[in-house]
Structure 1
Amino acid sequence: MAISISLNIILAKRNVSSKELAEAIGITQQNLSILKTGRAKAVRFSTLEAICKYLDCQPGDILQYEPDDNG
């Protein structure tokens, strides 16, 4: 996938656990895990907003576009 997720990096920098973030933004740990590992096919803007608000970051701190070798 051309979009990579670096949520683990932000969590580590903020010293926040996945469990803490999931509880704070109102999603399950399983759904947060799916997002963190890049297996999610979509993310709601409301979820992204809640993550950014809680972690005091920008969407670009979490999501990066990395073109694949095919262009």
Structure 2
Amino acid sequence: MAIHFDLKKIMDERGLTPADIMNMTDLSRNTVKALVGGINTRIDFPTLDVLCEKLGVNPGDLIKYVPNEKDASPQE
């Protein structure tokens, strides 16, 4: 997948646990687990909004685009 969600990185930098995120945001355990584990395939705007608000970050701090290796090769 070319889109990566960096919540785990921010949590590690700040010494936060999934329980801390759940308490700060009132997000469900399953939602936080999916976001931290990188198994999510989408994110709702209200979820992104509460994470940005409570963590003091912008969406671009959480969501990264990383080109696939095959996408990065020159066109023939």
TM-score (norm. length: structure 2)? 0.80
For the aligned residue pairs, the C-alpha RMSD in angstroms reads 1.3
Q: In structure 2, what residue type is equivalent to 1:60?
A: G
Q: How many residues align?
A: 71
TM-score (norm. length: structure 1)? 0.85
Q: Which has the larger radius of gyration?
A: 2
1:5·1:64 contact (CA, 8 Å) conserved in 2? Answer: yes
Query: Percent identical across equivalent pairs?
Result: 25
Moved over 6 A (4+): none
Q: Give the gaps of 5 or more residues in structure 2.
A: 72-76
CA apart distance, 1:60: 1.1
Counterparts of 1:1-71 in structure 2, within 5 Å, are 1-71=1-71
Q: Give the gaps of 5 or more residues in structure 1.
A: none
